[in-house]
Amino acid sequence: MLKKRLIACLLLKDGQLVESIGFSRFLVVGNAIMAVKHFNAWGVDEIIFLDINREKNYDFERNDVYYDNTLKEFAEVIRYVSKSSFVPITAGGGIRSLDDIRKYLSAGADKVSINSAAIENLQIITEGAKRFGKQCLVVSVDAKKMPDGTHHVMKNFGKEDTGMNVVEWAKKAEEAGAGEIFLTSVDMDGSLQGYDIPLIKSVVEAVNIPVIASGGVGDWNHLVEGIELGGVAAVSVGNKFHFTEHSTMHAKKYMKEHGIDTR
């Protein structure tokens, strides 16, 4: 049986590390460079690093000693962060073309996460897989529960309902050449109430590529539930990691005690 992965999800907005609540409220929690160093020291398996800033003129300037205030775009931040990382980094946010994929990979990312661009043009997955290999293409799926109980795919960081069914979209993404699905529940994001198990289970059962669960972790048992009940290949944690000292070590210890074999 393949070992499961514990992934730290870092969100960068206006050059600062933030936590997200429901894709609509953001709290500054620190510095991305220091966070990467901590997660490396604490044994996380991978890092997903997402730029959620959508302004045309980025401002990555920070006044503390740990950040290079000459950084002017996300690719430069990836290059800067990758120098401090000894684990694989998946970078996403603002990818619109194959050139953007190449730019992020050239900057030091091991994989890229694509969301809105894939929804608008499925060929970016197919062409990206041909050029760079499907192993480095992660399709990010933001899912929101509808009144009838189904889940729709959202784009533009959860702001726009595409009307597409999440399970059907995950199947299309796999057929197009996606190597992994990064599945986030908009409803559970920042709730600390746990993953949306029915949602992630429905996607896991529909595709043959790894699924990463995201959104809602507030207790280490939620990680176990995501793997045992949801069946995912990897569990991602955002907000809780920022406020729990040596958090990844505690998380891995808990998972091991409950029979989950991690990398």
| pLDDT reported for residue 68 | 53
| pLDDT reported for residue 213 | 98
| pLDDT reported for residue 34 | 78
Model pTM? 0.92
Of 1, 142, 34, nearest in space to 10 by CA: 34
Domain segments of the chain as ranges? 5-257
Of 14, 44, 39, 41, nearest in space to 27 by CA: 14
| pLDDT reported for residue 231 | 97
| Cα four-point dihedral sign 126, 132, 133, 138 | negative
Per-run averaged pLDDT (10 residues), the chain, 263 residues: 88 82 79 78 88 61 51 84 89 94 97 96 97 97 95 90 97 98 94 95 98 95 97 91 71 93 84
| pLDDT reported for residue 65 | 42
Query: What's the topology of domain 5-257?
Result: TIM Barrel (3.20.20)
